[in-house]
Amino acid sequence: MIFRQRPKPEAEIPTASMADIAFLLIIFFMVSTTLLEEKGLSMVLPEPGEETKIRPENITHVLLDNTGRIKIDGVYYDLSSVRKVIEDKLAAKPGTLIVSFNIQPECRYGTMIDVFDELRLADARKISLVPPKGAK
Amino acid sequence: MRWRGKRGERASIPTASMADIAFLLIIFFMVTTIFRAEKGIKIELPYAMKTERLPKRDVSRIWVSQRGEMSIDDKFVSLSEIAAIMSNKAIDNPDMITQIKTDRRAKYGDVAYILEELKKARALRVSLATKEEE
């Protein structure tokens, strides 16, 4: 038959663009993958039962009450001035000052983080979180 | 010169294996990508400036919602259970960092009691999750 005698064309899949397709896929996945970046204020808690006596003159008391008012050593301040106040106090007693951070349990968590962040920004390294009443 | 006279051979870079290399890269990235298994509960994190990045590994999370519900590994837990759960985790992985993800509208008291439980569980490395302030 005539058809049979026709020479067969060689079957071929073009692979030249395969690399482009693969790289396109790589780039697509790289772009669409949202990198999980988690941030936070880290701290190390004290061991239970580990209590050290600190001389009262080396402690600064920061009190945050239920309504979010900030009291540092008996004087009320607003959030924007906390950093300066703590910086000054740290400069007066470098290395020895401990910030005792007492937060009332009804206080909003966001407010607490704002103040805690300010303390960190003032470079207060030794911050003691006062445990809530009723906790062992 | 001799080599100049040589009949110019077509210069070509073999690209046949390029696709293999690219697919290998895809597979490598697919395998090394870690997916987040936990869903957690819906919260709005507070903002802070002086934040530190958390490593990807060794982190276990406690979620605290606005109303004070707590969740570990997608299970709601009560305050009294936290010490036992976290102390088991701390024994399994001594380098564990506990991340507390708390809604900014929650009460601080909820977090304070969790911190006390973590002290009991000897899970002493803690990170309070925040978003970076711009």
Cα angle vertex A97, ends A113, A91, to 5°?
Answer: 95
Q: How far is A128 from chain B (nearest CA, A)?
A: 12
Answering whether pTM is above 0.95, one says no
Asked whether residue B50 carries a pLDDT value surpassing 70, the answer given is yes
Burial A21-42 (b: 16+ CB within 10 A, else e): ebbeebeeeeeeeeeeebbbbb
Q: Domain containing B111: what range?
A: 47-132
Q: Contact A37/B53, CB-based, under 8 Å?
A: yes
- pLDDT of A67 reads 87
Average pLDDT score over chain B: 84
Domain presence at residue B117:
yes
Locate A63 and state its tokens: 């009190």
Q: Contact B108/A109, CB-based, under 8 Å?
A: yes
- pLDDT of A23 reads 85
Q: Which residues contact A117 (CB under 8 A, 6 or more apart)?
A: A41, B48, B49, B50, B130
Q: Contact A39/B102, CB-based, under 8 Å?
A: no
Domain presence at residue B31:
no
Domain presence at residue B7:
no
Q: Which residues of A touch B105 (CB under 8 A)?
A: 108-110
A–B interface: beta-carbon pairs under 8 A: 156
Domain presence at residue B29:
no
- pLDDT of B35 reads 67
Residue ranges, chain A, pLDDT below 70: 1-6, 34-36, 50, 134-136
Asked whether residue B37 carries a pLDDT value surpassing 60, the answer given is yes
Closest residue in B to A131 (Cα) is: B112
Query: Residue B19: helix, strand or coil by DSSP?
Result: helix
- Which position has the token pair 């259970």? B81
SS3 per residue for A93-112:
CCCCCEEEEEECCCCEHHHH
Q: What is the ipTM of this complex?
A: 0.71
pLDDT-wise least confident of A51-55, A93-97, B47-51, B103-107: A51-55
Give chain B's domain count: 1
